[in-house]
């Protein structure tokens, strides 16, 4: 089996964790495997967690077994999952795949039809890997769309700013307190803000009604129409 293995991109790191159900559905999320390599580093104890059983076809199951075996036993792929020592060597030979949390490493493994986004942790006493399986075309389509960012508007539909998918918005409350919420892109008109799904106009109207104001807690995206040519898509 031929695999394409990439250092995970910043906008893909979110997808090595469980997502809100709306996003998982859009991305063609099939399920994920997590496992550890035992106290001596040579075991391989795993648990599979289903998401979409309709996408978990026999063809997928056969391919998934091949992918795992290739990552464990095929020297062409550096024995990434052979044991914890091999995993550690791989991670420290590929420091460019270190993730934002500072202790995990991420790779993307592509086949013709599916993508496997892997979060690797060579530390003893922790789960050593999480492998999230997606339909490649669905995932890539969502990643391309999500690069537009989460839009924040006022109740008159005037755009205030955009946040990158996974960025934080700061809400300043009427009583002088403030709070921050993580924002996830659903489509041009819907976003998950905190734990709730909103139409962007509904959120703007709610903020106005409550006397709240919003501002970016993370660096906002370049306003629409002001992008320069050096801002290129990073989605594959």
Structure tokens at 171: 């809400």
Predicted structure pTM score: 0.89
Query: Hey, CA dihedral for 95, 101, 105, 106, is it positive or negative?
Result: negative
| DSSP H/E element including 24 | helix 21-26
| DSSP H/E element including 208 | helix 200-210
Please list, in sequence order, all residues whose beta carbon lies within 8 angstroms of the beta carbon of residue 102, skipping any fewer than 6 positions away.
Answer: none
218/163 Cα distance (integer angstroms): 7
pLDDT (tens, 9 = 90+) of the chain, 236 residues, equals 789 999 999 999 999 999 999 999 999 999 999 999 999 999 999 999 999 989 999 999 999 999 999 999 999 999 999 999 999 999 999 999 999 988 899 999 999 999 999 999 999 999 999 999 999 999 999 999 999 999 999 999 999 999 999 999 999 999 999 999 999 999 999 999 999 999 999 999 999 999 999 999 999 997 555 554 443 444 44
Please list, in sequence order, all residues whose beta carbon lies within 8 angstroms of the beta carbon of residue 58, skipping any fewer than 6 positions away.
Answer: none
CB atoms within 10 A of CB 196: 12
Please list, in sequence order, all residues whose beta carbon lies within 8 angstroms of the beta carbon of residue 184, skipping any fewer than 6 positions away.
Answer: 19, 20, 23, 150, 165, 166, 191, 192
Nearest residue to 28 via CA among 1, 58, 60, 2? 60
The ranges assigned to domains in the chain are 4-143, 148-216
236/136 Cα distance (integer angstroms): 10
Please list, in sequence order, all residues whose beta carbon lies within 8 angstroms of the beta carbon of residue 177, skipping any fewer than 6 positions away.
Answer: none
Give, in order, the Cα–Cα distances in Å from 128 to each of 8, 43, 88: 17, 11, 10
32/163 Cα distance (integer angstroms): 28
């Amino acid at each position: 089996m031929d695999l394409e293995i990439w250092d995970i991109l910043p906008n893909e790191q979110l997808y090595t964790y469980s997502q809100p159900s709306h996003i998982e559905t859009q991305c063609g999320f099939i399920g994920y495997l997590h496992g550890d390599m035992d106290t001596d580093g040579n075991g391989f104890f795993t648990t599979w967690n289903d998401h979409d059983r309709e996408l978990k076809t026999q063809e997928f199951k056969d391919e998934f077994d091949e992918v795992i075996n290739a990552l464990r036993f095929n020297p062409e792929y550096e024995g990434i999952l052979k044991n914890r020592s091999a995993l550690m060597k791989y991670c420290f030979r590929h420091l460019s795949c270190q993730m934002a949390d500072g202790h995990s490493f991420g790779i993307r493994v592509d086949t013709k039809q599916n993508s496997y986004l892997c979060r690797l942790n060579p530390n003893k006493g922790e789960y050593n890997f999480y492998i999230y399986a997606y339909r490649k075309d669905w995932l890539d389509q969502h990643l391309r769309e999500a690069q537009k960012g989460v839009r924040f508007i006022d109740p008159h539909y005037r755009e205030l700013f955009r946040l990158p998918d996974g960025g934080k918005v700061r809400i300043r409350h009427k009583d002088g307190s403030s709070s921050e919420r993580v924002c996830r892109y659903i489509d041009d008109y819907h976003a998950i803000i905190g734990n709730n799904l909103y139409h962007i106009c509904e959120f703007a109207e709610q903020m106005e009604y409550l006397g709240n104001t919003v501002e970016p807690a993370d660096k906002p995206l370049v306003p629409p129409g002001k992008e320069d040519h050096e801002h290129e898509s990073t989605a594959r």
